[in-house]
Amino acid sequence: QKEVEQDPGPLSVPEGAIVSLNCTYSNSAFQYFMWYRQYSRKGPELLMYTYSSGNKEDGRFTAQVDKSSKYISLFIRDSQPSDSATYLCAIGGSEKLVFGKGTKLTVNP
């Protein structure tokens, strides 16, 4: 079983839609959870960082963590064409950070 699994998509939505991106993980020792956005030919950019179960909101983005199910989500409200990118989840412990393979999102105007 892979440590972190993420549906690679691709995911295509119309502008204004709510987007849901998800990852599952296998190691219950993982303590903190991040979402990165990566545009083409650029490095990953940190979007959200949390280390507790529940929701964390930042503007149009909400990160949700369910440690009991080992499941994390990123929701994007009112999606914009500029949100078109690859989204990577990253889950880690004190010595290790494991990335999902990324979900490619396209928001169509």
Residue ranges binding other proteins (CB under 8 A)? 31-32, 34, 36, 41-46, 49, 51, 88, 90, 92, 94-102
Q: How far is the CB of 20 from other proteins (least distance, A)?
A: 20
Q: How far is the CB of 18 from other proteins (least distance, A)?
A: 25
Question: Closest CB to other proteins among 25 and 36?
Answer: 36
HSE, side-chain direction, 13 A CA sphere, residue 60: 12
Contact 63, 90 (CB under 8 A): no
Rounded to whole angstroms, how far apart are CA atoms 3 and 17? 30
Question: Closest CB to other proteins among 17 and 38?
Answer: 38
Contact 62, 56 (CB under 8 A): yes
Q: How far is the CB of 15 from other proteins (least distance, A)?
A: 27
Question: Closest CB to other proteins among 43 and 109?
Answer: 43
Contact 101, 24 (CB under 8 A): no
